[in-house]
Amino acid sequence: MGNLLRFEFRKLFRQTSFYVCLAVTALLAFLSVYAMYSVSQVVMEDFSAAADLSPSELAMLAGFTQASGRGQLITALSSDSVTLLLGIFVALFICSDYTMKTAKNIIGRGYSRAGWLSAKLAASACGCLLFCGVAMATSYAAGTAFWKAGEINSRDLMLLLMQVLVMFGYTALFVFWSVLLRSSGGAIALNLIIPMLLGLILTVIDYLVFKNGDTLSKYWLASAMTTASDITVKSEDLWRAGLLGAAYAAVFTGLSYLVVSRRDV
C-alpha cells in the first residue's frame, strides 16, 4: 500500500492539469473578490456624507458584510468555480489510469483493486485540500488587501472545517462518476453538470411538491456549503451541514469500491 500511495502522490504532483486547475482556482478567487470590491466602491459613493468612516466601515454600512479578509475566507468555497475545477481535476486524475491502462498494470502486478482505489482516493483528498487551501488563501489575501484582515476566531475555523467536509463529499461524488464512466470526457461532463443541474432540479421539485416547508434541496451539498459559509449560522445547522458532507463522502466512496470490485479494469 505504501508503494501505491507514493506512486499516486508522485503522479498527482507531476500532473500538469493539477497545477493548471489550481492556478485557475486562484485567479477566479481573486477576480471574485475584486468584483465585489469594485461594486462596493460604486455603492459607497452614495455614502460620501459619512466621510469620517474608514473604507472598511463604509463597506459594512453599504451592506457588504464580507468586506474583509476574514469575510472572504469564510465564503471562498461557496463559489461554484472551486467545485467545478475540482471536478475537472478528479475526472482527469482518475480516468487517466483507465485510458493509459495504468490501473490494469498495477492490478496485474498483484495489487488489489481496493488498494488501487484507496491510493487514488487518498491522492484525490489531498488534491481537494489543496484546492480548498488555494481558494481560501487567495480570497483572504485579496480581501485583506482591498479592505482589512479581520479577526479570525475559533468559530470561523469550525466553519472552514465543515466546508472542507462538504468538499470531501463533492470529491467522493466526482470519484464515483469517474470510476463508473472511465472516460475523462464523460466524467468531466457529469462533474460539471451535476452540481449545477441537480440543485436546480431539486429547487423546482421543492416548489412544485412541498408546501409545508420541507425541502429536498437542503439535503444537497450546495445547500450544505451555503449553510457552512454563513457566519451567523446556528451551531446545529452547521453540524448538520458537516454531517451531510461526511455522509456523501462515505456513501459515494462505498459505491466507488463496489463499482471497482465488480468490474474489470
Whether 59 shows a pLDDT value over 80: the answer reads no
Rounded CA separation 133/179 (Å): 26
Helix axes 154-181, 184-209, angle to 10 degrees: 120
Q: What is the pLDDT of residues 25-34, one digit of tens each?
A: 999 999 999 9
More confident residue, 247 or 196: 247
Q: How far apart are CA 60 and CA 36, in angstroms?
A: 12
Rounded to the nearest integer, the mean pLDDT of the chain is 86
The number of CA neighbours under 13 Å toward the Cβ of 46 is 8
- Residue 4 grid coordinates: 501505491
User: Does the global pTM surpass 0.85?
Assistant: yes
**Residues 206, 254, 9, CA angle at the centre, nearest 5°?**
115
Nearest Cα residue to 256 out of 198, 135, 174? 174
Give pLDDT, residue 205. Answer: 78
**Mean pLDDT, to the nearest integer, of 250-262?**
94
